Amino acid sequence: MDLVNAYLARRSLDYLIGFAISPLLWRKLPGCQSAGRVQSAALALVCDRETEIEKFSPQEYWTVDTEFETQCSDSSKGICLTSWIKHLNSKKLDQLSISSQEEARALEKRIYSCQFEVRGVQRTKIHKNPPMPYITSSLQQDAANKLHFGAGHAMKVAQKLYEGMNLSSEQATGLITYLRTDGFHISHGAAEDIRSLVKQRYGEQYASEDIRKYLKKVKNAQEAHEAIRPTSIRRLPSSLIGILDEDSLKLYTLIWRRTMACQMEASRTELIQVGIGNPEGDMIFHSSASRLDFKGYQAVYEDAYQGVLNGLNSQLVLFLTNRALACYENWPFSAGSSWTLKQLGPVKTPKEKLHIRIISRPCPN
């Protein structure tokens, strides 16, 4: 009944205010299509964020980054460690601890006057599960973050992929499933086909033992449609080069990889954290890297991984090879389309399928 009452309240507001104010806006603001009951939620978020930025008093802070290198033998090259200061005078530093150029310069001189060694090496095993398949909001956010697509542009491209394109002598073929969805589920047949392709391309050990079922639900989600996925997982992005335009191919590749990943094994990584300090122990630097023991779902992505810090032991003497000072101000970032989409997730505006119109007006970028 809560949803019914919410509908009745919105309908009443339309009768009392919306129907009367819309004609007024048409006369006073040419091009304004409505009073924007749906867009108001996003507009409020953007306005609140901009007000927060206007009232914000930025603080200057400095960072001191260093590069150390282990002593190299005649037959091997030393290991280079890029690090940042973590403790000073036995106190843990936060982002704003070094607040002036004078403090940064004094610390720089102190660093040059000290000898450093490895104080400790900590190794941690990390298992990272694959991401869930795309729904409308997560596709928009990833398209913005990874492809720099605006929300409206991302959905236009997705609509083209959904409506279909002529592939060689075939009729128009839809390349992805329905793009306006809040359900994470994938049909049993499609999931089996995905796992089969994973085994063919990467090996048996890369496919999940059983079909992964994603049960996380968005509050009030209807889940009338599957997650966004390719209509045929065997239609590889490489087979569409020269057929799809650049943006369509980028978005299809994003969806294809995410769909493959969701039915793959977790990745296993060893995180290596190195503490670097002076003999007195009152100045500690931190360096970290990761070693990928098993790629798992990350095999479908082409990300670069950090180098491996092997062969490091405590008391190993290090030589300072470089240092860098940098000045920043801690301004909060403005409300772009990706940020606003993320904020709208828990708000759950009454017309879920109008997310694009909601975003494109307050946040055209």
Q: Would you please indicate which residues are annotated as catalytic (active-site) residues?
A: 178
Helix (H) or strand (E) segment spanning residue 54: helix 39-55
SS3 of 349, please?
Answer: coil
The sign of the dihedral angle between the CA atoms of 88, 91, 94, 98 is: negative
- Altogether, the residues listed in the chain come to a count of 365
Q: Are 46 and 300 in contact (CB under 8 A)?
A: no
Give 223's DSSP letter. -
Q: What residue has token string 């596709």?
A: 139
Backbone angles phi, psi at 328, to 5 degrees: -140, 165
Burial group, residue 113, by CB count within 10 angstroms (0-12, 13-18, 19+): exposed
Identify the bridge partners of residue 241 per DSSP, sorted by sequence position: 244
Q: Which residue has the tokens 């150029």?
A: 101
Bridge partners (DSSP) listed for residue 321: none
Sign of dihedral through CA atoms 118, 124, 125, 129?
negative
CB contact burial 235-258 (16+ within 10 A = b; e otherwise): bbbeebeeebeebbbbbbbbbbbb
In whole angstroms, what is the distance from residue 139 CA to residue 178 CA?
12
Rounded Cα–Cα distance for residues 158 and 175 (Å): 9
Angle at 120 between CA 114 and CA 121, to 5 degrees: 130
